[in-house]
Amino acid sequence: MSATPQATEWPPIVERIESVRQEVAQARRANRTIGFVPTMGALHAGHAALIQRARKECGYVVVSIFVNPTQFGPQEDFARYPRTLAADRKLCAEEGADLIFAPSVEEMYPPPYRTFVEVTELDQVLCGASRPKHFRGVCTVVLKLLQIVQPDVVYFGEKDYQQARIIRQMIHDLNVPVHMEVVPTVREADGLACSSRNSYLTAAQRQVAPRIYQALLELRQRVREGEREVARLETQLREALSAIPEARVDYAHIVDADTLQPLEQVDRPAIAAVAVFLGTTRLIDNIRLN
């Protein structure tokens, strides 16, 4: 395993697919295990934890930075999504990444582009219900990135629980030769899940945003105290979220941890997953209930 680079050793940024393949091939010839962290940039402490984990377990760490247009809907925030490549490169250097892949849209989707990847059923619930074709875009770009980098291990965060579950299914179903690791959600000191979209929040919204996680903690506590009826639990969760100033609840559901399907009773591994708008900013979070 290579030594962790110092912060002064800035990882090179490559934009071409062929360049990534050449760099990774060279690392493989040196018998280095390849770890991969796919991101859309605007890196924060959650991404840092993924890179740290990859650095600990692998000899060569690739981070991709690509704001993927195919996972954004027509009225979503693709144009204004934060793009902070200089700051992202600094974080990658501090955490010991070896290479940054930052392609253009044209490099990833050369015209005429016609091929997409879908994981059915799992993509129709939770975020998939309100963001049609979102996970089609996610799966497509992740599979392309895995084909390009060909890592031994790929790292995702548990904050995007549904995304991780869908990608794990895709890797299984399509026999992608990669091991997938899911890293626990990283939170701010007040409990708010780290997210690139947190930068959209006003000062007032940022002050009340931790109440989303607080509502999830209270829900889990009720389950631990013996409440099992999902309808009642979901009603209590929605009420707690709706009481947050400026909040509009997109969804607040308790689902089977594997199938993501609704439950009547919390009688198996379950996830409480929520999406809440604070003003125009959509935040997601989740918690394991048992």
* Residues belonging to the active site: 47
Report d(CA 30, CA 188) in Å as an integer.
38
Report d(CA 224, CA 206) in Å as an integer.
29
Report d(CA 210, CA 231) in Å as an integer.
24
Q: What is the DSSP letter of 178?
A: -
In sequence order, which residues have a C-beta less than 8 Å from that of residue 169 and are 6 or more positions away?
Answer: 119, 122
In sequence order, which residues have a C-beta less than 8 Å from that of residue 4 and are 6 or more positions away?
Answer: 55, 96
**Backbone region of residue 100 per phi and psi (left: phi > 0; alpha: psi in -120 to 50; beta: other values):** beta
Q: Is the dihedral of CA 261, 267, 268, 273 positive or negative?
A: positive
